[in-house]
A and B are shown apart, each in its own frame.
Chain A
Amino acid sequence: MKWEVFRQEKTKDYHTHVGNVHAPNAEMAKQYAQIMHARRKPANSLWVVPKEEIEEVHADERGVEMGGTTQKEYRWATNYNTDETFAEEIEDSQREQEAAERDLAEADR
């Protein structure tokens, strides 16, 4: 049985996918996950999830549009040229959106 492993590096971080392990049950999966994915890299917590319990939707599937494949610049802060620096929180949001836009452009190439 396959288990997908999610590692949280430091307390309060998000858990992110790091790979999978083969194990007959949750107990063993947790042990293997520790050995495989938390031995060298810093880890605060691990989640193991039965692979068959994970459903996927893929960007290449027919009729699926994810990650800004359609033209929707009107829903980005960067589309409006008002000044965002007057409030720290608006500036943060704008910077996050700029980073996301760069990632999207990167993925497009």
Chain B
Amino acid sequence: MDLETVTERAGPREFGPGDEMPEEYREAATRMIQFHANSEIMGAYIERPFIRQAPSLDRKLAVSAQVQDEIGHGQLLYRAAEELGVKSRERMLEELASGEGKFLNCFHYPLDDWYELPMIMFFVDGAAMRRQATLKRTSWEPYAHAIDKICFEEGFHIKHGEDILRTIATGSRKDQQRLQAAFEKWWPRILQFFGPTDDDSTHGEFAMEVGLKTMSNDDLRNAFLNAYVPKAKKYGLELPEYPRVEYHESDDYYEVYEEDLDWSEFFTVARNELPTGAGQIEKRRRSQAAVEWVRDAIESPGQGGATPAAADD
């Protein structure tokens, strides 16, 4: 199929492994799905320490279920990407471990304590869910199928995240202060989740043309802010004065003042060069190396091996 036909036919779930897709499409889809898969894995690593740090058994069980879900989402997505025939799953996992693979900006920062957890579990996951919901209509069918299952599960993550947020927000004065501090620290990163406005990224336009993406970053950011700013207010969180965010009622859109955000940090993150992000990648690399023997054992059962290393931190 040539690119012109792809653009003409582009629509929800239009193309699958049975179609001869042009190189440009397969590479753009691989880039997008690999990024998504990597983000699921790295998101799971950010949340994982909170299985231990959870303040109750209920929370512990739920956080552990979430981490398990996210790793599963990563696997589903690597499969959907693999079917494009550009990269094997093994190659994508290697790229993630070597620091070549890219993933969401928010997962380059560590979560310092329990008060920061809902920033990821509610706001960042909420932003991701907003984007994912639009991908049910992506043109690469295996991607849409993975998204069906991801969206089914993700509602639990965000509601659990909000439940934690509510518990803290209705706690002591000190709890509320620490929550506000966590919010102020994370809010600028959350605003950068969808990238710079109007720019719509180098690859965005092509992805829209061939139906891989169905909504622009700007529209996604607006939809997200429309739903989540009222939520933040509901729990007594105050939007910091800077970065400025203005709501224009007449046109129902949010203006985020670009110049108030640290874009040089954003692009450092995008190059995997932020020290904390590099630390997260290194953690992932060590875990992957530590369970190498498991993968080897699965690939060639019946052979003895060296004493396994611990897969833990």
User: Which residues of A does B touch, CB under 8 Å?
Assistant: 12, 14, 72, 74-77, 79-82, 84, 86-90, 92-94, 96-97, 100
User: Does B129 interact with chain A (Cβ within 8 Å)?
Assistant: yes
Chain B neighbourhood of A97, CB < 8 A: 152, 155-156
A75 touches B159 (CB 8 A): no
User: Which residues of B does A touch, CB under 8 Å?
Assistant: 12-14, 58, 61-62, 65, 69, 126, 129-130, 132-133, 141, 145, 151-156, 158-160, 162-163, 166, 227-228, 230-231
Cα of A79 to Cα of B156 in the assembled complex, Å: 8
Given contacts A14-B145, A75-B62, contact A84 B156 (CB under 8 A): no
Cα of A88 to Cα of B65 in the assembled complex, Å: 23
Given contacts A74-B65, A89-B130, A89-B133, contact A96 B162 (CB under 8 A): no
The listed residue (B126, B133, B160) touching A88 by CB distance below 8 A is B133
User: Across chains A and B, which 4 residue pairs bring their CB atoms closest together, nearest first?
Assistant: A93-B155, A89-B133, A77-B155, A80-B159
Chain A neighbourhood of B14, CB < 8 A: 12
Which of A77, A81, A89, A96 has the largest number of chain B CB atoms within 10 A? A89
SS class, residues of chain B in contact with chain A: helix
Cα of A80 to Cα of B166 in the assembled complex, Å: 11
The listed residue (A12, A80, A82, A92) touching B13 by CB distance below 8 A is A12
Which residue of chain B is the closest to A100 with respect to CB atoms? Answer: B152
Given contacts A82-B162, A87-B129, A89-B151, contact A12 B12 (CB under 8 A): yes
Cα of A14 to Cα of B146 in the assembled complex, Å: 12
The listed residue (A72, A80, A87) touching B160 by CB distance below 8 A is A80
A89 touches B129 (CB 8 A): yes
B163 touches A82 (CB 8 A): yes
Which residue of chain A is the closest to B227 with respect to CB atoms? Answer: A87
**What is the minimal beta-carbon distance from A62 to any residue of chain B, in angstroms?**
22
B230 touches A77 (CB 8 A): no
Given contacts A74-B58, A75-B65, contact A89 B159 (CB under 8 A): no
Known: A76-B156, A86-B231, A97-B152. 10 other contacts (CB 8 A): A72-B65, A74-B62, A81-B163, A82-B159, A87-B227, A88-B133, A92-B155, A93-B152, A93-B153, A97-B155
